[in-house]
């Protein structure tokens, strides 16, 4: 009887010890994440993802293992959006193509919606940002970790300076695939053509397209000034980076891991916006110097363009399909 009790006691101790060991081992298991981006080093989206990677390593140390890819190693942005939704990737930055996942993002294709970065902050750092996060979680299973910056876009082309809307008539203009952006330029008289960003330089060089529209960061990085004659400083659209994590992955994190991810994302968001601000301050001069006088720069007639944008805003609002949300965005900007 004593021996049975002793054996039972020893067995219980062994099971308990094994359970404690298993629990401690599970708790010590590092967080494993796969991060990827289409763009190459120096691009706005790559900068934000790399910043998040580095900040998260600083937060968690050897308790995080990160697989990191850039330069389109795993495909373009459309492929990345598919992979993060299926869980093949955990974290990605999304540019204009976010509108292909949720029509609420089409509101940001309304021309001249934002006049400055203060208005941008009022939208993305407040109730609108929260509503966008909730919408992405509900519709596509993605958690929005923050909103970085691709930036204010400008028009470049090889035909003529774009000063008034009529100057866009007939221009073959490369745009992202967002339906709102395509609609806007169609209504302005241009002929928008969607293509992968990596194909733009050759398309401009060969005359497949006349021009494109992007922030200074991309104009400089891709050296489009080498194959363009005119750069019109339009600031017609501000494009955010929608920085996301697979929702199931986010919900599976421990409270400590989630807090570390949130802190790293907030820091990456701030770094991204500062990067955009710095680019606007510095890159125009760099592009002018690099183009060696071969590119003409001009301001646009803002009043004429804003007048032309009014009916475009109404049509894009129809694409969004949520008048309450559109009105809330407009109110937040005021």
Stretch 210-228: mean pLDDT: 97
pLDDT at 20 (0 to 100): 39
pLDDT at 7 (0 to 100): 52
Residue 28 has pLDDT above 70, yes or no: no
Alpha-carbon distance of 20 to 312, in angstroms, equals: 63
Q: How confident is the model at residue 8 (pLDDT cuts 50, 70, 90)?
A: very low
Query: End-to-end CA distance of the chain, in Å?
Result: 83
Stretch 256-268: mean pLDDT: 98
pLDDT at 27 (0 to 100): 54
Stretch 123-137: mean pLDDT: 98
Alpha-carbon distance of 154 to 216, in angstroms, equals: 7
Structural domain 29-150+240-280, CATH architecture: 3-Layer(aba) Sandwich (3.40)
Q: Flag whether the pTM goes above 0.85.
A: yes
pLDDT at 9 (0 to 100): 45
Q: 154-237+283-333 domain in CATH 3.40.50.20?
A: no
Q: Start-end ranges of CATH 3.40.190.170 in the chain? A: 29-150+240-280, 154-237+283-333
Residues 50-73 pLDDT 10s = 999 999 999 999 999 999 999 999
Residue 75 has pLDDT above 70, yes or no: yes
Residues 152-172 pLDDT 10s = 999 999 999 999 999 999 999
Residue 262 has pLDDT above 90, yes or no: yes
| CA-to-CA dists, residue 128 to 46, 78, 326, angstroms | 25, 24, 10
| Dihedral class, residue 156 (left if φ above 0, else alpha if ψ from -120 to 50, else beta) | beta
Residues 305-314 pLDDT 10s = 999 999 999 9
pLDDT at 2 (0 to 100): 46
Q: How confident is the model at residue 216 (pLDDT cuts 50, 70, 90)?
A: very high
The share of the chain scoring above pLDDT 70, in percent, equals 92
Q: How confident is the model at residue 334 (pLDDT cuts 50, 70, 90)?
A: confident
Angle, alpha carbons 184-185-186 (nearest 5°): 95
């Amino acid at each position: 009887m004593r021996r049975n009790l002793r054996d039972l006691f020893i067995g219980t101790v062994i099971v308990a010890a094994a359970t404690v060991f298993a629990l401690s081992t599970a708790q010590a298991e590092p967080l494993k994440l796969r991060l990827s981006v289409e763009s190459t080093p120096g691009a706005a989206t790559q900068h934000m993802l790399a910043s998040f990677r580095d900040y998260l390593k600083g937060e968690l140390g050897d308790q995080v293992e990160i697989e990191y890819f850039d330069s389109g190693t795993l495909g373009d942005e459309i492929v990345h959006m598919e992979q993060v939704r299926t869980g093949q990737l955990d974290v990605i930055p999304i540019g204009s193509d976010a509108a292909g996942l949720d029509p609420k993002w089409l509101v940001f294709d309304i021309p001249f919606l934002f006049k400055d970065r203060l208005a941008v902050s009022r939208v993305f750092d407040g109730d609108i940002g929260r509503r966008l996060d909730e919408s992405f979680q509900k519709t596509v299973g993605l958690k929005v970790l923050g909103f970085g910056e691709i930036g204010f876009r400008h028009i470049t082309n090889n035909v003529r300076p774009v000063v008034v809307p009529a100057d866009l008539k007939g221009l073959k203009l490369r745009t992202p695939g967002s339906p709102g952006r395509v609609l806007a330029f169609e209504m302005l008289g241009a002929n928008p053509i969607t293509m992968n960003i990596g194909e733009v330089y050759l398309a401009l060089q060969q005359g497949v397209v006349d021009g494109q529209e992007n922030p200074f960061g991309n104009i400089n990085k891709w050296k489009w000034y080498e194959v363009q004659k005119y750069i019109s400083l339009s600031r017609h659209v501000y494009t955010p980076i929608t920085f996301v994590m697979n929702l199931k992955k986010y919900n599976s994190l421990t409270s400590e891991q989630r807090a570390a991810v949130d802190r790293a994302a907030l820091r990456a968001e701030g770094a991204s916006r500062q990067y955009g601000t710095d680019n606007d301050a510095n890159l125009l001069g760099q592009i002018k110097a690099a183009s060696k006088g071969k590119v003409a720069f001009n301001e646009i007639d803002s009043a004429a363009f804003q007048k032309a944008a009014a009916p475009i805003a109404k049509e894009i609002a129809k694409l969004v399909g949520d008048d309450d949300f559109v009105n809330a965005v407009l109110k937040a900007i005021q």
